Chain A
């Protein structure tokens, strides 16, 4: 496996691991972080793709730059939303489908990292 392939494979691995993290973690900050790192995995992939030819391909670099800009704004917005949600409900979690279960969400959770 060449150098480029190592980056390619790790990029995809990071993506997959973080997608898993996004699903299993309930805390919203963790979810936001997971999404952020997923993006980084793809950027790594792009950077590796740019190295396929002898002279590095500039197009993936441009895409990564654009991608970073998008990721920064998305993360900032997501964090602001988490904060507002925390202010409104006092909890940094998504409620479990409030419309389907009429009972109020329980205060106690298995997840240890509350607050």
Chain B
């Protein structure tokens, strides 16, 4: 049994949002004004609480190494364990940062008076009449944190389903036809992915009789059942993450949803399924994976990097451009499987992918938030009609530009650190072609980001702005962008954290 401080630190990130979600749900029934106040208060308090508890957990993990907590005191293999190691804490931290600023963004987003709401495809700035945003979002947060702390393969499934349901609801929150369709499409994809995962878990349990991830890791051997489970799980999670060519649902889901949901979705929800892959591949399947499967995922990742970037260049709407940029960035993540199975430096590849999750989450959330502010102000996101927008909306455009540094992978951003690590791993294994793709992706990213930034910075005489977005929207986008930029400077402590309980340890070259 863990010490009380530890158990508190590990439970709070899950419990707080759950409690918050319940309160927010109940407050939805109260009168309009009170209900809103209670919901906002709950949301912000929860965000602060989660951040605090994650920092607490970080200090515990840094001091004691990986910690675990047996739910209700039942010991594994009967009971269910919550586990936290460096990777979990990094994911929790990502969620806490993006979620915290996402919450602040949402305060402005849903408070606005929206008398002149226009028809058409834009879904920004509606008043959320059902007052369902806060309960859904906090629920989603609980599911995310639960997922990152799960030490049990079946528990992962449950949290994954909770995540998928609340995410689909958030996407359709706008209530327009396109939002509902995007939500429906995402729901289908999400359910299909989770079921494929569940099938994989069933096969694993059938073969080894345990569900606990660390026990699975000890017992798993290279048998056909393992390979089948690996295939189903990888397929399902690749689908939910949006790996090329299973990304077909992603552009519409990310662009049709309200921007606050797009930001949270692109930054966090897609990463959760990737986290499962990272966890299972290197904690469970390590050693029993045929190298060719890693190469396969990596090859799709490499194609995704280029394909996503090329598609992004061709988009005419800002949010679609960002969605395809996500397709491209997701490709980088999947390179890790090829790099590790190809004999590259394990820690560099693994930590690079994990770090990119954090960097991309903060940057892409900032960009979607900035896009949301622009749509809020203009009622559209047609890139051709966004000329000169920087004059009217300097902070959102600046956020977009700063976050773009991470997407391009330039110093001193977190994306640079991640890409340096990935590149180092690709060259050390002699798989220089992946290195080439990583580098080419960076240049292509500059090309598609400039498609928006260049015209946005031009001087024009008049640019029609319907209304100025609330400060909380611009500022939270800007803060997240700055965080993504600063991540390159603070990579040392974060990589130390990642190394706690990691499947690989860093090798220091040349010494």
Please determine whether chains A and B interact with each other in the same assembly: yes
List chain A positions with a Cβ less than 8 A from chain B. Answer: 8, 12, 15, 19, 22, 28, 31, 35, 38-39, 42, 45-46, 49, 52, 57, 59-60, 63, 66-67, 70, 73-74, 77-78, 81-82, 84-85, 88-89, 94-95, 97-100
Q: Are B195 and A77 in contact (CB-based, < 8 A)?
A: no
Q: A78-B191, A99-B255 are in contact. Are A59 and B205 (CB under 8 A)?
A: yes
State the CA gap A75–B165 with chains docked (Å): 10
Bin the interface of chain B by size.
Answer: 35 or more
Q: Across the interface, name the chain B residue whose C-beta is closest to A100.
A: B251
Q: What chain B residues lie within 8 Å of A73 (beta carbons)? A: 165
Identify B206's interface contact among A35, A38, A52, A94, CB under 8 A. Answer: A52
Please tell me if B169 contacts chain A, counting CB pairs below 8 Å: yes
Q: Could you tell me if A39 and B195 are in contact, using CB atoms closer than 8 angstroms?
A: yes
Among A35, A81, A88, contact of B177 (Cβ-Cβ < 8 Å): A88
Within 8 Å of chain A (Cβ to Cβ): is B181?
A: yes
Cα–Cα, bound, A98→B450 (Å): 25
Known: A15-B195, A38-B195, A67-B198. A59 touches B206 (CB 8 A): no
Q: Is B195 within 8 A of A35, CB to CB?
A: yes
The CA-CA distance from A34 to B377 in the complex, in Å, is: 42
Q: Is the CB of B199 within 8 A of A81?
A: no
Which of A39, A78, A95 interacts with B178 by CB under 8 Å?
A: A95
B127 at the interface (CB under 8 A from A): no
Give the segment of B182-190, B264-272, B383-391 that binds chain A: B182-190
Q: Which of B185, B191, B252 has the most CB atoms of chain A within a 10 A radius of its CB?
A: B191
Report chain B residues within 8 Å CB of A19: 192
Asked if B177 and A89 sit within 8 Å, CB to CB, the answer is yes
Contact, CB under 8 Å: B168 / A88: no
Partner of A42 from the list B164, B198, B248, B255 (CB cut-off 8 Å) is B198
- A45 contacts B202, CB within 8 Å? yes
- Could you list which residues of chain B lie within 8 angstroms of chain A, going by C-beta atoms? 78, 154, 157-158, 161, 164-165, 168-169, 172, 175-178, 180-181, 183-185, 187-188, 191-192, 195, 198-199, 202, 205-206, 209, 211, 248, 251-252, 255-256, 317, 320
B181–A95 touching, CB < 8 Å: yes
User: Nearest 9 pairs between A and B by C-beta?
Assistant: A89-B177, A49-B206, A85-B180, A88-B177, A70-B161, A45-B202, A35-B191, A38-B195, A42-B198
Q: How far is the CB of A66 from chain B (nearest CB, A)?
A: 6
CA–CA, A85 and B209, complex, Å: 42
Q: Min CB distance, B401 to chain A, in Å?
A: 25
Interchain CA distance A70-B165 in the complex, whole Å: 10
**In the complex, what's the smallest C-beta–C-beta distance from A105 to chain B, in angstroms?**
10
Alpha-carbon distance A40/B185, docked complex (angstroms): 21
Asked whether A94 lies within 8 Å of B195 as measured between CB atoms, the reply is no
Can you give 7 A-B contacts (C-beta < 8 A)?
A45-B199, A52-B206, A73-B165, A81-B183, A85-B177, A94-B181, A99-B317
**Beyond A45-B199, A78-B191, A81-B168, is A88–B176 a contact (Cβ under 8 Å)?**
yes
B317: A residues at CB distance < 8 A: 99
CA distance A31 to B206 in the complex (A): 28
Docked Cα-Cα span, A19 to B239, in Å, equals 13
Contact present for B161 and A74 (CB under 8 Å)? yes
In the complex, are the beta carbons of A98 and B184 less than 8 A apart?
Answer: no
Nearest chain B CB to A44's CB is how many angstroms away?
10
Contacting residues, chain B, for A8 (C-beta < 8 A):
206
- Least Cβ distance of A20 to chain B in Å? 12
Q: Which residue of B lies closest to A36 (CB)?
A: B191
How far, in Å, is A7 (CB) from chain B's closest CB? 11
Please name 5 further chain A to chain B contacts, defined as beta carbons within 8 Å, in addition to the given A42-B199, A77-B187, sorted by A numbering. Answer: A12-B199, A67-B198, A88-B177, A95-B177, A99-B252
Q: Are B202 and A46 in contact (CB under 8 A)?
A: yes
> Once bound together, how far apart are the Cα atoms of A21 and B187, in whole Å?
16
Q: How far is the CB of B255 from chain A (nearest CB, A)?
A: 6
Cβ contacts under 8 Å, A67 to chain B: 157, 198
Looking at B172, B176, B185, B187, which has the most chain A CB atoms within 10 Å of its CB?
A: B187
CA A97 to CA B311, docked complex, whole Å:
15
- The answer to whether B202 touches A88, judged by C-beta atoms less than 8 angstroms apart, is no
Complex CA gap A57/B202 in Å reads 13
Q: Determine which of B157, B161, B205 lies in contact with A49 in the assembled complex, contact meaning CB atoms within 8 Å.
A: B205
A40 to chain B, nearest CB (A): 10
Taken together as a complex, chains A and B put the C-alpha atoms of A38 and B195 apart, in Å, by 7
